[in-house]
């Protein structure tokens, strides 16, 4: 049986997790790192880099490197025009944003598909290493911000399809987090999940009882997160928006979660500036403040006072910021939980949900809601709401339509999402054309249109003329996003590139292995005991030989010649075999005599 996984497709980082013996676990690389930076880079030769490798290229080849692409999912160019100049890569498009990397352009789902494919490969390699016969990963649960609209959810599902994954379910990040938390103890009560990530903010309020995780209300802002804090800091220090500056302010932001002051240092420049936590906090206070109004609205929609919340859970890297924790604690009057790693908890929950779907395990059940009201355009550009926000999904709504002209056979329906009265103030989802209405005098046909929001929070529409019982055909024109045909084409394209991508992957893996052997070797050579070891146990010239191979390997490391890199890596491995053995024996001896090697 092929494998299923849970994936957190984040703005900054992505993770993949699976369930082993009833417990969810994050799948890590050899170095124990679970995070794959959601960064994709394509060099002049067309080689695709994903994750850490791509992140490094942000400093050397920013114009060909895309990050924070989640902000563009399900958006049109007009939505993002204002912030396009924040990014080093080219942003264009119309109803779908297009991202230019070198001479190729990609839609956000295609970029996200590279990240998903990387996670898929990571999981497959992991299962293969575990000795699983069928280690293919072809199905996944993918998480999205709870406040994502239909177009953003659909774009995420498209990304999964392009990556060759059957998306079993799209689930909301805060709800996924609550599933992961709910595993540890048999929770009963009302939980608020505050999720501030790299680019999005969600608040969800859930009631948990008898293993049923029922979302009462959700709210948020899909354009608010750590990215905005970084941008503010960059503006504040006024050294431009280059990647070197971005890296420096992100480091400072991290430091200030631990310390009361730090120094912003931009690599490769003399620039250096001290920042105190107080200064940082007064700078970002407005951003933290913007998360509180959605929290209050979610409380009101759940019909609760802050005192009605039993537990508060923090999710997302930005909740490490002390000011965020303080403000959340003040609002809810509870010390928030953060026992689980806020970066990993969403992926763990996604894995739990994936396991529920394939095993039919009925111990837990997630009942989520639709974050935004669904409505249709009526006379005068006014919205008539069909399904209200915070309705438990799946949900249905229906509306009766008729014709305005004799023998009219088609009707147009404009569907929007949002809370405002006027169509223009809401998000246009799609225009539907109902065809095949039997010719009748005006006003006589009774076309019942049924709106179905499924458990993914994604809309589908069916229609039936009630007098003739004729099922109507519906032509859908999504306002933002890709058509099914475009997604199919992208899937085919990705196969064409798959071979080139595969070679590139092998090269990257060879480099990574070379780097880790170099690192391990250099660590041994730097060992405080090394001089003694060399004198007592190494053959004459052994150290020099190792050093020269390290130097040789470093020279070929950045070439594209995978076989040469592998040859040198093997040479270094062989040359250090004896040294490794000696070091190992020493530590075993030290352990047996109860003495720490470093104490010697």
Beta-ladder partners of 460: 452
357 near another protein (CB under 8 A): yes
367 binds another protein (CB under 8 A): yes
Nearer residue to another protein within complex by CB, 101 or 144: 144
Stretch that binds another protein, among 155-163, 289-297, 352-360, 583-591 (CB under 8 A): 352-360
Residues in contact with another protein, counted by CB under 8 A, come to a total of 26
Alpha carbons 67 and 58: distance in angstroms, whole number:
9
Nearest distance from C-beta of residue 209 to another protein, angstroms: 7
Scanning residues 47 to 76, which ones bind another protein (CB under 8 A)?
none
Q: Which is nearer to another protein, 179 or 345 (CB)?
A: 179
Is-cis flag, bond preceding 231, omega within 30? no
Residue 433 engages another protein in binding (rule: CB under 8 A):
no
Q: Decide if residue 360 touches another protein (CB under 8 A).
A: yes
| Residue 172 beta carbon to another protein: minimum distance, rounded to whole angstroms | 14
Q: Using alpha carbons, select from 275, 61, 27 the residue that is nearest to residue 132.
A: 27
Give one DSSP letter per residue of 256-295, joined into a string: HHHSSEEEEE-TTSS-EEEEEHHHHHHHHHHHHHHTHHHH
Distance CA(39)–CA(115), nearest Å, equals 7
Burial environment of residue 108 by CB neighbours within 10 A (0 to 12, 13 to 18, 19 or more): buried
| Member of 62, 315, 366, 434 binding another protein (CB under 8 A) | 366
Q: Which of 265, 338, 341, 396: binder of another protein (CB under 8 A)?
A: 396
If one asks whether residue 331 binds another protein (CB under 8 A), the answer comes out as no
Residue 392 binds another protein, judged by CB under 8 A: yes
Residue 68: which of 246, 238, 306 has the closest Cα? 246
Residues 522-581 interacting with another protein (rule: CB under 8 A):
none
Identify the CA nearest to 319 among candidates 198, 233, 206.
198
CA angle (69 as vertex; 64, 75 as ends), nearest 5: 120
Site for another protein in 189-228 (CB under 8 A): 209-210, 212, 214
Nearest to 20 by CA among 2, 35, 5: 5
CA distance 485 to 472: 22
CB 5 within 8 A of CB 137: yes
For β-strands 411-417 and 427-435, DSSP reports them as antiparallel
Rounded Cα gap, residues 178 and 335, in angstroms: 16
Cβ atoms of 447 and 464 closer than 8 Å: yes
131: phi then psi, degrees, rounded to nearest 5: 85, 20
Nearest distance, CB of residue 210 and another protein, angstroms: 6
Is 295 or 386 the residue whose CB approaches another protein more closely? 386
Among 163, 328, 374, 393, binds another protein (CB under 8 A): 393
Q: Which is nearer to another protein, 322 or 394 (CB)?
A: 394
- CB nearer to another protein: give 168 or 411: 168
HEC readout, 189-256 = EEEEEEEECCCCEEEEEEEEECCEEEEEEEEEECCCCHHHHHHHHHHHHCCCCCHHHHHHHHHHHHHH
Report the nearest approach of another protein to the CB of residue 182 (Å).
15
DSSP 3: E
x-or-dash string of contact with another protein, 161-190, rule CB under 8 A: -------xx---------------------
What amino acid positions are annotated as catalytic residues? 8, 70, 173, 195
Q: CB 457 → another protein: shortest distance, Å?
A: 12
Residue 209 or 522: the one with the smaller Cβ distance to another protein is 209
CB nearer another protein, residue 51 or residue 174: 174
Part in contact with another protein (CB under 8 A); list of ranges 5-13, 42-50, 78-86, 390-398: 390-398
- Residue from 185, 186, 362, 526 touching another protein (CB under 8 A): that is 362
Residue (58 or 369) nearer to another protein, CB: 369
Nearer to another protein, 363 or 563 (CB): 363
Identify the DSSP state of 102: T
Interface with another protein (CB under 8 A), residue from 293, 300, 365, 444: 365
Interface segment toward another protein; rule CB under 8 A; list 149-157, 294-302, 364-372, 574-582: 364-372
Distance of closest approach, residue 502 Cβ to another protein, in angstroms: 31
Give the end-to-end CA distance of the chain in Å, rounded to a whole number. 52
Of 51-59, 387-395, 491-499, 567-575, the segment contacting another protein by CB under 8 A is: 387-395
Under DSSP, is residue 29 helix (H, G, I), strand (E, B) or coil? coil
Cβ of residue 179: shortest distance to another protein, in angstroms? 12
168 versus 312: smaller Cβ distance to another protein: 168
Give the DSSP letter string of 503-568: HHHHHHHHHHHHHHHHHHHHHHHH-TTHHHHHHHHSPTTHHHHHHHHHHHHHHHTTSS-HHHHHHH
Report if residue 306 touches another protein, rule: CB under 8 A. no
In the complex with another protein, which residue's Cβ is closer, 47 or 391?
Answer: 391
Q: Which of 231, 334, 385, 446 binds another protein (CB under 8 A)?
A: 385
Nearest distance, CB of residue 336 and another protein, angstroms: 27
What part of residues 446-485 is at the interface with another protein (CB under 8 A)? 452, 454-455
Half-sphere exposure of 444 (CA within 13 A, CB side): 13
Instruction: Dig out the tokens for 391 from the structure.
Output: 């309705």
Q: Please report how close the Cβ of residue 360 comes to another protein at its closest, in angstroms.
A: 5
CA dist 229 and 251 (Å) reads 12
Instruction: Name the minimum Å distance from CB 363 to another protein.
Output: 10
- The stretch among 50-58, 69-77, 363-371, 543-551 that binds another protein (CB under 8 A) is 363-371
Minimum CB distance to another protein smaller for 71 or for 207: 207
Give Cα 365 distance to the centre of its chain: 23
Q: Residue 165 is encoded by which pair of tokens? A: 């994954």
CB of 171: closest distance to another protein in angstroms?
A: 10
Backbone dihedral region for residue 93 (phi beyond 0: left; psi -120 to 50: alpha; all else: beta): left
Q: Are 165 and 140 in contact (CB under 8 A)?
A: yes
Q: What's the closest the beta carbon of residue 447 comes to another protein, in angstroms?
A: 17
Binding site for another protein (CB under 8 A): 168-169, 209-210, 212, 214, 353, 356-358, 360, 362, 365-367, 384-385, 391-396, 452, 454-455
């Amino acid at each position: 049986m092929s494998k299923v996984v849970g994936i957190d497709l984040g703005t900054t980082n992505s993770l993949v997790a699976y369930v082993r013996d009833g417990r969810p676990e994050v799948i890590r690389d050899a170095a124990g790192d679970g995070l794959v930076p959601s960064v994709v880079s394509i060099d002049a030769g067309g080689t695709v880099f994903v994750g850490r490798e791509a992140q490094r290229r942000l400093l050397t080849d920013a114009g060909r490197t895309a990050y924070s692409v989640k902000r563009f999912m399900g958006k049109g160019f007009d939505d993002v025009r204002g912030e396009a100049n924040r990014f080093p890569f080219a942003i264009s498009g119309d109803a779908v944003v297009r991202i230019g990397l070198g001479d190729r352009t990609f839609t956000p789902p295609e970029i996200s598909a590279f990240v998903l494919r990387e996670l898929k490969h990571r999981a497959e390699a992991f299962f293969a290493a575990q000795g699983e016969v069928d280690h293919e990963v072809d199905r996944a649960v993918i998480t999205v911000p709870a406040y994502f609209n239909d177009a953003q959810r659909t774009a995420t599902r498209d990304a999964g399809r392009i990556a060759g994954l059957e998306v079993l379910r799209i689930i909301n990040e805060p709800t996924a987090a609550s599933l992961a938390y709910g595993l540890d103890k048999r929770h009963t009560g009302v939980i608020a999940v505050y999720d501030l990530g790299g680019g999005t903010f969600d608040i969800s309020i859930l009631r948990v009882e008898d293993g049923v995780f029922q979302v009462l209300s959700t709210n948020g802002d899909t354009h608010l997160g750590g990215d905005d804090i970084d941008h503010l800091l960059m503006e504040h220090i006024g050294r431009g928006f280059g990647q070197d500056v971005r890296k420096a302010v992100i480091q400072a932001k991290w430091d200030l979660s631990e310390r009361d002051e730090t120094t912003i240092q931009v690599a490769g420049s003399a620039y250096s500036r001290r920042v105190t936590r107080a200064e940082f906090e007064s700078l970002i206070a407005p951003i933290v403040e913007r998360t509180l109004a959605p929290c209050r609205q979610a409380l009101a929609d759940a019909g609760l006072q802050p005192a009605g919340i039993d537990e508060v859970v923090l999710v997302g890297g930005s909740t490490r910021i002390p000011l965020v924790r303080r403000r959340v604690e003040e609002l809810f009057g509870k010390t928030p939980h953060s026992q689980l790693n806020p970066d990993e908890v969403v992926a763990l929950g996604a894995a739990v949900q994936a396991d529920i779907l394939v095993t039919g395990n009925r111990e837990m059940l997630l009942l989520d809601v639709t974050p935004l009201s669904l409505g249709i355009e009526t006379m005068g550009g006014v919205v008539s709401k069909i399904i209200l926000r915070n309705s438990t999904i799946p949900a249905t709504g229906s509306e009766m339509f008729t014709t305005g002209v004799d023998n009219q056979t088609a009707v147009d329906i404009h569907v929007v999402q949002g809370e405002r009265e006027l169509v223009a103030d809401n998000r246009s989802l799609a225009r539907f054309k109902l065809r095949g209405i039997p010719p009748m005098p005006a006003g006589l046909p009774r076309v019942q249109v049924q709106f179905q929001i499924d458990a993914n929070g994604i809309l589908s529409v069916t229609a039936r003329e009630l007098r003739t019982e004729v099922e109507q055909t519906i032509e859908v024109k999504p306002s933002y996003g890709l058509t099914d045909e475009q997604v199919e084409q992208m899937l085919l394209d990705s196969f064409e590139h798959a071979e080139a991508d595969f070679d590139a992957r092998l090269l990257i893996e060879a480099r990574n292995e070379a780097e880790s052997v170099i690192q391990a070797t250099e660590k041994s050579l730097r060992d405080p005991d090394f001089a003694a070891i060399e004198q007592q146990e190494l053959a004459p010239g052994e150290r020099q030989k190792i050093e020269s191979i390290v130097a040789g390997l470093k020279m070929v490391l950045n070439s594209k010649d995978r076989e040469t890199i592998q040859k040198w890596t093997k040479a270094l491995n062989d040359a250090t075999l004896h040294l490794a053995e000696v070091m190992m024996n020493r530590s075993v001896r030290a352990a047996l005599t109860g003495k720490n090697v470093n104490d010697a």
